[in-house]
């Protein structure tokens, strides 16, 4: 399905599979638009079919043109700031950015600057887009890799729901200490807060359900290190870091969870691929996120 941005409106041609579907069902059941957005569209006639406002119980016919007032003027929610950010994928609905290390995903307190969200706001400002900066997920300050942002309210709602349903697949790469005996495995251990440390988490019987899958990609016996590929079924704070430390293979450089910093001074963890079905075009997206230079140097030093 092809969508087009026409000013503040999105246009798309009704596909054959939507024949007989009503506007109401598309918005409420297929896209599951938030109630506030539905109300807004009703009030300002923000949904049109063939350039006309029609009742929402109108059934679609293949080839008709649907128009939605999606791209409204909004405040960014953060101060635009020129930062060196690296967009990897972008269209009118979403943006995937390669977050560098030593950068928060979003402000953690009022007035905080220098975050990825500040950089995204500036990127959008330069390209004439005025919309709230909506991050769909986040990464730890010193973890690098792909972060998804929604470019309008409906995209944000759909992507949030996809994330909750585990329909956004994120693949991580981590350099860890030791040589795992199993080439692949699953860590199924609950994670809770560490009462003795304000930010650290730990495996705890009373913690939240957490599952991490791992696969050994490469080993470096001379250095007693390995490169793992990891995928999450849950999204707990510090999940990969806690789970790998728990099985005796802490991430290189992760001092909070027992990783040695002699070779690397931050956790050697990178979100290297994002896969999802596009919320509007239904295209299967698989976006690879390049390693930062320090990870490339680390890898070269081990070969």
Q: How many residues does the chain have?
A: 303
Phi, psi of 156 (to 5 degrees): -60, -45
Active site residue 140: yes
Alpha carbons 170 and 137: distance in angstroms, whole number: 10
Catalytic residue among 44, 91, 104, 140: 140
Q: Name the residue with tokens 């409106």.
A: 9
Boundaries of every domain in the chain: 3-68, 73-165, 171-270
Is the whole-model pTM more than 0.75? yes
> For residue range 16-51, what is the model confidence (pLDDT) as tens digits?
999 999 999 999 999 999 999 999 999 999 999 999
Domains 3-68 and 73-165 alike in fold: no
Q: Name the residue with tokens 């991490």.
A: 212
CATH topology of domain 171-270: Pseudouridine synthase (3.30.2350)
Phi, psi of 239 (to 5 degrees): -55, -50
Give residue 60's pLDDT.
95
> For residue range 220-231, what is the model confidence (pLDDT) as tens digits?
999 999 999 999
Q: Which CATH class is domain 73-165?
A: alpha beta
Encode 55-79: b = buried (16+ Cβ within 10 Å), e = exposed.
Answer: ebeeebeeeeebbbbbbbeeebebe
Q: Name the residue with tokens 């969200």.
A: 117
- Do residues 219 and 182 make contact, with C-beta atoms less than 8 angstroms apart? no
- pLDDT exceeds 90 at position 2: no
- pLDDT exceeds 80 at position 1: no
Homologous superfamily of 3-68: RNA-binding S4 domain (3.10.290.10)
> For residue range 148-203, what is the model confidence (pLDDT) as tens digits?
999 999 999 999 999 999 999 999 999 999 999 999 999 999 999 988 888 899 99
């Amino acid at each position: 399905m092809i969508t087009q941005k026409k000013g503040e409106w999105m246009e798309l041609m009704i596909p054959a599979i939507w024949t007989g579907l009503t506007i109401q069902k598309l918005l409420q059941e297929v896209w599951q638009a938030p109630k506030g957005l539905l109300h807004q569209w009703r009030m300002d006639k923000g949904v049109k079919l063939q350039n006309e406002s029609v009742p929402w119980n109108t059934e679609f016919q293949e080839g008709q043109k649907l128009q939605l007032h999606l791209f409204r003027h909004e405040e960014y929610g953060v101060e635009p700031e020129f930062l060196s950010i690296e967009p990897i994928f972008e269209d009118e609905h979403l943006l995937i950015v390669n977050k560098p290390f030593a950068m928060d995903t979003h402000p953690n307190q009022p007035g905080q600057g220098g975050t990825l969200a500040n950089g995204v706001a500036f990127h959008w400002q330069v390209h004439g887009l005025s919309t709230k900066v909506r991050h769909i997920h986040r990464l730890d300050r010193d973890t690098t890799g792909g972060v998804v942002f929604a470019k309008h309210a409906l995209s944000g709602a759909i992507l949030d729901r996809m994330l909750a349903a585990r329909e956004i697949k994120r693949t991580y790469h981590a350099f860890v200490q030791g040589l795992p005996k199993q080439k692949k495995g699953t860590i199924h251990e609950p994670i809770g807060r560490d009462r003795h440390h304000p930010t650290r988490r730990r495996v705890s019987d009373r913690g939240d359900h957490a599952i991490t899958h791992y696969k050994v990609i490469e080993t470096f016996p001379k250095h007693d290190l390995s490169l793992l590929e990891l995928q999450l079924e849950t999204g707990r704070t510090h999940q990969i870091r806690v789970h790998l430390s728990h099985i005796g293979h802490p991430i290189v450089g992760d001092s909070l969870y027992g990783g040695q910093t002699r070779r690397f001074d931050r956790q050697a963890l990178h979100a290297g691929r994002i896969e999802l079905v596009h919320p509007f075009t239904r295209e299967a997206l698989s976006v690879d996120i390049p390693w930062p230079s320090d990870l490339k140097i680390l890898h070269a030093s081990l070969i």
